[in-house]
Each structure stands twice: as structure tokens, then as C-alpha cells.
Structure 1
Amino acid sequence: MKIEPMDQSSGRGPSQQVVKQAIHWLLRLRNHAANPALRQQCEAWRIAHHDHELAWQRVQSLHSELTSSLRAVPGARTALDTLETSAQRLGRRQALKLLSGVAVMGCAAWLGKDLGWQPWSADFATATGERRGFQLPDGTRLELNTNSAADLDYTASQRLITLTRGEIMLTCGRDPGRPLLVKSRHGLFEGLEGRFVVRQDNDCTRLSVASGHVAIRSHVGSDGAPIQVEAGQSYLISASTATLAPPLDMDAGAWADGLIVTRNMRLEDFLNEVGRYRRGYLKCAASIADLRLSGVFRLADTDKLLAVLPHTLPVQIHYRTRWWITVERTA
């Protein structure tokens, strides 16, 4: 769905009233899923204003994250099922209060530490294991990887996307009058055209350009001009430096197609990557950390992905629980 430009008078995000309307639509659709007319009415409400769509995406993201997180807490499944059943039996006003109150009830401390409530404050966000794509007002395609969040600030003079968490892929065209800027914790980048990936880690941001070229506006080269990154190049950017990265041992943008594509990748690094798409503990014994693997792995089901490893490496998978997995050398 194409998101219409934001009315500048509406501020940085949807009002509390608009968010309540989005919760209202979510409840109605959950209780009347087989009603096509109601779904069309919701679609019409979403496209009527930019803030409506932003509120809808936030409510959807938070609902998905809360549901999966609550079900991950031992003993919480029954409580959550009871909560959902109770909400269906209540009137609309009471149900709105109940759903709105979920975020501050029960497992609030556990969830707050894990989620940081990011979906409420970001224009676009994904939960752990989720990947989503959006068509922006100017035609730019924005893809969010697992556990990622970004804010959108478009004006008459610039297009600014702030990556607050995780990883994004952008496919954009040239607009001389309005540069497309991407801001991370470590730098500012201008997408001149093509496709590129920005991944923000704790200590640095990795910029990988698949096609076209990108300028690192926050850092300059030896000639005093912004550093130009060409197709096929990757840079590691900290607050003070920007250095050309060695060739990657995985395809930087394959996640947008639901894949991890590796090239002679260390097992420990591979498991760290897979761990981004699931909750819990996933590690390997130090004695096999340097085993190498190459291949194409599907992210849709990480348990099935892990089950493939013993067929390609001398390892075995041990599940202590659903959320505690170790990979060890075959006995």
C-alpha cells in the first residue's frame, strides 16, 4: 500500500486519538475476520491520511510483538488466551481499554526490557524474526529486517530516514531537489540512486551498496569531499572513521528475500546471524566455531534451517529448551 505524504500540521506522528482508532479497527477485524466490507472500510480509513497508516502499522507491530513475547513466557499462554477471549466478550469501549492496558499489565517489566516499546515510537518497526516492506511517498522502497525500526521525515527540501534500530534496505531513484538521507547512530548517508543496505550495530554502522552509489555525508576522504561508495563496496562507519570493509562472507541484502546466503562463513558468525531471527540462546562450542559453511538458507523456519547443519558439517543440535540451543561436534 502506498503511504500518502504526511500533513506537516500533524506533527511527527499520529495523535493518541488516531492510535485509538487503529486499535478499534484491529479489534473489529479480529472479531469479524470474515467480513469483506469491514476490511474494505478499514483500508479506506488507512489510506485517508498518512497518520492513519502509521498508527495502523504501529498497532499491528506492537500487537504482533506482544503476542509472540507473551507466548514465550512460561505459563503465559493460558493467560493470553483468556485475555483475548475476554476482549471479544466485552463491548468496544471496554475492549479498547483492555487492549490499550496490555502494555502496562502482567509481564510489563519483562517485555519492557526486551522490546523497549519501540513500535509505539517508530514510524516503521519489526519484531524479532519479522521482515516487512513499505512503499514510501516518493516511490522509494523501504525494507526492514528483523527487530528494526526507522522514522520518516519528508519535507519540501529533503527526505530523511532515521534508522533507530537494526537494518534497512532502500531502493531509490535520483531527486536533485530533495536528497534522500539516511541517518544512523554513527553517520549520515545520501542515497543518490540504486539499492543499498544500512545495518546499525552497537559499535558501528555497515553500509553495503548493491547498485548505484551512496555518499557518506558525515565523513570525508583525503580530498576533503564526502566518501563515495560504489556498487559492490561495503564500509564500516564509526563516529570518527569510515573504512572500506573486506569482502563479506554473506550476501548483505539476501534477507529481503528471506534468505541467508553464505560464502565460506565461520559457524559461530553464522549462528550469530541466525540468532537475530529468533528468541533465546543459540551458540556453538568453541572447538567448532571456525568450521566453515557455504550455501543458501531459508529464514522462514529457523528450526528447519538449523536441522540442515548436521547434513553439511560434523555437528549435532542440542535443544535444552525451545529457546536454549547449542551446536556441538558430532561424537
Structure 2
Amino acid sequence: MSDAFFDSLIPVTIVTGFLGAGKTTLLNRILHEDHKHRIAVIENEFGEAGIDDELLVHSEAEQIVSMNNGCICCTIRGDLSRILTDLRRKKERGEAKFDWVVIETTGIADPGPVAQTFFMDDVVAAYYRLDGVITVVDALNGEATLDKQPEAQSQVGFADRILVSKTDLVDAAKVKDLEGRLRQMNPHAEIREVNMGNCPVDVVINIKGFNMSDVLNVAPDFLTGAHHHHHSDEIGSFLYQSDRPFDPQRFEHYFMSLVNVYGPDLLRYKGILYLQGADRRLVLQGVHMVAGTQAFGPWEGKPATQLVFIGRNLPKEALIKGLDACLC
């Protein structure tokens, strides 16, 4: 995929978070505020509370509601691919004007299948690109939710940016503990404390979490300085590094096996591959069992592999041993 083609695609942001975290407040702000962006908000009808009633058309068919700030709102009553195609066709006919899409997932959902749509569905991939996943975490109830709800842990694992809401309802020490836990679970995601009712739209869009050329975020500085906590979270991450090249055939065979076996528990993985015989970096990006690679420029400095894996109960030592066996 060329950079020019990538840049021509309509960017999409997925907003996720457990029930009551503040997603609906955030989406209502996007739909009401005069932020100068033309955004199509797609709301999952299975959410616990919808966009303000006056913004929705209660019908069995998909409906698109135009807002006075240039945004539009629609609900999912069927296949996501179909509604994205409908939106694209309306845009082409001049019936809907938007340059960004924000999708709200239901509060009890793993956002993986939504993200996979942009890799697996050729019709969608020809016109849209996934920009990033935003996860909203409630500072008041976040710790308890993470303790009890595996879906909430998955949402944190998928995140490119985590927005911590309701920080005004708890003391600073509790917020710090929660953020330390989130950072331990997903060290590659940026964490921001945000009042959903006053959240700038630019905090939500243009995350570039799934930009294949965005290789600088592979190993954030806080990978080695994350807070330690006493929670036994299923979601965790690790960084694999090597300055030895992979044998291309061995690596491909092993990685396909790895994804086939652990794919359901591999929430996100991304990084730079150093393959024997390759004169440039190869960027890898994946969600569950769907992965993509793209050649990206010559090496700057000494070649090396850097891969971040985020998943559920991953056998870190076994995976590292398997990757090591693919090295030349």
C-alpha cells in the first residue's frame, strides 16, 4: 500500500469502554460542538444508553441524521460493513458530507471484530483505514471493573489511547494507581485524564495507531518504567528485541503457527522486522488472527527487530523461545 493511497482513505476511530465509562457523553459532545470537523458517528444500538433521543430516528432501517455542526449520526442495525458502504455511497452522491468516522462499540464488547473489518473486508479496506482505538476508563469504577470484567481488560489491551474519565470524583492517589495498572497492561497506549463533557475532538481523532509507517511508537520509553501493581490481570504485554535477522521462511512458518494458536488472545501486535536479505525495514501490524506488513524505508542505524505483543495470558517465555529459533 503506497503512502498516497493510504492517505486518500477515510480515517476511522473506534471508541470503546465499559458500561458507564463516558462514551455517550463524549459522542454527544462530538455531535453538538462547533469543532469544524465533519465526522460521521456510528453508534452501536446495543449500547447501554444511546445518543440523545432527539438525535436518533427510531426505525427498523439504518437512518442517517444530519447535525447542525456538520456531523452526522447513524446507528448500527446490522452489518458494520454494510453501513460503512452505505455511508460511502451517500458521500459519493453528495448526500452525506464527512471526512472522518467515529464508531462506538457496545460497552461489553471486545473491539477486535470491529477492528478486523478494516483488514479483512476488501470493500471496506478500499475506502476506509483504521486510525486508532480509543478506550474510555472510569476512574471511579475502573479498578473494580477491571477486576470483574474480562471485556474491560480486552478494551484496555486494544487501546492506542486511553481516556480516564471522572477523575474529579476520586482522589489523586486512586487515579495514579489506576493509571499505573493501565500502563502495566498496555504500555504502548498514551493515557490522558479527560472530562468527557469538555473533551476536545482532536483528542479522539488522528491517533495514527494503525499507521503502518508509524514505527516510532513500537517501544515507548515507559516499557521499562511501568508501575508495578498487585493485580493478576489477564492482559499483559512484552517487547521482543533482537539485532540478529530472522530467517524469512522460518519466521513466516512460526508466526503463522503462533497466530493460529494464540490469535484469539493476541489483542494487538506491532513492530519492525529485521529479515535476512532485506535492505529495508518491514513494519508488522496485527489484530487477533489478522496481520499485515509493509516495507518502510531503508534502515537508519543498526538493523534490529522490535515487536510489541499485547494479549491475554500470553506464554511470554515460550513465544520468545520460538522467535529466537527463527533467528539466523
| TM-score using structure 1 length | 0.28
| TM-score using structure 2 length | 0.28
Q: Which has the higher contact order (CA 8 A, sep 6+)?
A: 2
Identify, as 1 or 2, the structure richer in strand.
1
Structure number with larger C-alpha Rg:
1
